[in-house]
Amino acid sequence: MLEMRPDCERCGTDLPAEAPGAFICSFECTFCAECADALDELCPNCGGELLDRPTRAKRHHAKSPPSTERRFRG
């Protein structure tokens, strides 16, 4: 199951699990659309391709909660 990290690692923008607009690599490094575009859709951590992260409907959050650990260290 995907972690569904709550923020962009590069700028700290909130990325709710139920909303579109997040991009992830195969290691689940997570970026907003603006940062993914600025990075040419390449993960700066592993060099992998950044792809659209699927959304998780709110009704599934109780059984399968998204991560609350923020990764932005700015």
- Provide the whole-model pTM: 0.93
Q: Give 1-56's CATH code, choosing from 3.30.40, 2.40.128, 2.60.120, 1.20.140.
A: 3.30.40
**36 vs 58: CA distance, rounded Å:** 25
**28 vs 4: CA distance, rounded Å:** 8
**7 vs 2: CA distance, rounded Å:** 14
Q: What phi-psi label fits residue 40: left (phi over 0), alpha (psi between -120 and 50 degrees) or beta? A: left
**41 vs 12: CA distance, rounded Å:** 17
Residue 73's pLDDT band (cuts 50, 70, 90): confident
**52 vs 14: CA distance, rounded Å:** 15
Q: What is the rounded average pLDDT of the residues 57-63?
A: 95
pLDDT digits (tens, 9 = 90+) for 23-54: 999 999 999 999 999 999 999 999 999 999 99
